[in-house]
Structure formats: structure tokens, C-alpha cells
Amino acid sequence: MHAIQERLLAQVDRDPALGQKSLRQIGKNIGEDSAQKIKHHLTQLEKRGLIAVDRKSGVIRRIKSGKISPASGIIAIPVLGYANCGEAAVVAEERPEEFLRVSSRLLPKTKKIFAVRAIGNSLNRAQIGKGRKSIEEGDYVIVDYDNRNPKDGEYVLSIIGGLANLKKFQFDRKNNQVVLSSESTHHHNPIFIHPEDDYLVGGTIVAVLKAGNSSRA
């Protein structure tokens, strides 16, 4: 996240009436002279779902996980970065980069969920959730944080040495190892994990939100 955006978020937390001030006043509070930069970064924060701006009252508030309003049925889901559908090569972050606004009708009934963006194609033949959806590059993958004890055959977000990975889970009791495999139109070797390795399950994949032609850019 850009340093100006981080300072703006901190200012929002301190001053809910921030939107009543001029762009120059806001900039002065965070040590930035350019009103255009303040406008740009506030717009970016709003687009990413990190803030909500009430233009009538001038109130700017930080978006948090959970229902945005009980009547709408729209839920704010934190996006915690990217995860590979291949080798574990992307660092797992716990700080939301943005929030998705999603109808509760599109989600399973579970309390603690978050999303990651998929990179790679190793699960492009998976069948996940009620819609039996695959995971393709750029899709939003919804993870149930409460379910970190997956059954064989479930799809999981794994954290391997601090890096995030999406795979199909199996515990091989005979050989005392976790096997993380792919379901893909391309060949991907499985990943073998010993119980004492730097490895944990970050949650079970419960849904996929297709991003169309979206890309990592």
C-alpha cells in the first residue's frame, strides 16, 4: 500500500469528520502538500473498498469485515493478497489490501471468511462449492478461517514457509505426510509436507468468485 494511503487511513481512524475538511487541510495533517495526490489516494482507497465516504455529512469511515448494512445483505470480505495455484511463491499477508462487497446469497453460511486472489492454473479443473467452480488466474478464492482441520479431498489455503498456496489436501497416514495436489489441464507435481515442516493450513476453500478477465495488474 502506498505510504500516503497508509497515512490517510490512520487519519480516518483518528478523525471521522475528515471529509468535511479541504484536500489541502487533509494534506497538511499528513505532511503532503499536493491536493491532487490527496484526492487521488482517497479515490483509490474508496475504490478498493477500504473506506466509505458519505458526501452529505463529510464522514469518512474505515470499512471492516462483516455486513455493511443489515438491510442490504451485502458483506465486506477482506482480501489478504495473492496465493499461488502452483509453487508456494507469494508471501502470505494478514493485512487487508482491499475489501470485496459480496451478496450473502453468494456465500456459504460461515462467520470467519476472507479472500485471496489466485495466481496460476493448478486448480483450473477443481470443483468447489455449490457451483462446482474451478479456480483460474485472477479469481477471488473465499477461505473459511474457522475450518483449519480439512478432510481428505478438500481444497485449502496452505502457508508453507510463510508463502501462500492453493491446493487439494490429503493426509497420507501410511507415510505420515501431507500431500498437496493439483487438478489442472497442466501438469503440476504434488507438494509433500512432513508434520514437522514450517507448514499450516490457513483455512478451507469454500467458494470461488469468478473475476472474468481480471488479471493481477
Task: Answer with the residue of higher pLDDT: 6 or 91.
Answer: 6
Spell out the residues 6+ positions from residue 82 whose beta carbon is closer than 8 angstroms to its own.
90, 116, 117, 118, 119, 164, 216
| pLDDT tens track for 96-136 | 878 888 888 888 887 788 999 999 989 999 999 888 999 99
Task: Answer with the residue of higher pLDDT: 37 or 213.
Answer: 37
User: Closest Cα to residue 118, out of 110, 126, 107, 129?
Assistant: 126
| pLDDT tens track for 133-165 | 999 999 999 999 989 999 999 999 999 988 999
Task: Give dist(CA 49, CA 37) in Å, integer.
Answer: 18
* C-alpha cell read off for 184: 489442472
- Whether 5 shows a pLDDT value over 50: the answer reads yes
What is the rounded average pLDDT for all residues in the chain? 86
Spell out the residues 6+ positions from residue 199 whose beta carbon is closer than 8 angstroms to its own.
158, 159, 160, 161, 178, 193
- How confident is the model at residue 29, as a pLDDT? 87
Task: Give dist(CA 136, CA 125) in Å, integer.
Answer: 9
- How confident is the model at residue 215, as a pLDDT? 44
Task: Answer with the residue of higher pLDDT: 20 or 204.
Answer: 204
| pLDDT tens track for 50-62 | 888 877 777 888 7
pLDDT exceeding 70 applies to what percent of the chain? 93
Domains present along the chain, CATH in parentheses: 3-62 (1.10.10), 67-209 (2.10.109.10)
- How confident is the model at residue 56, as a pLDDT? 77
Strands 113-119 and 74-84: parallel
- Whether 216 shows a pLDDT value over 50: the answer reads no
- Whether 214 shows a pLDDT value over 50: the answer reads no
- Whether 206 shows a pLDDT value over 90: the answer reads yes
Q: pTM (2 decimals)?
A: 0.75
| pLDDT tens track for 36-90 | 988 898 888 888 778 888 777 778 887 777 766 666 788 889 998 899 988 887 7
Q: Give Rg (Cα) of the chain.
A: 20
Task: Give dist(CA 130, CA 138) in Å, integer.
Answer: 20
- How confident is the model at residue 198, as a pLDDT? 92
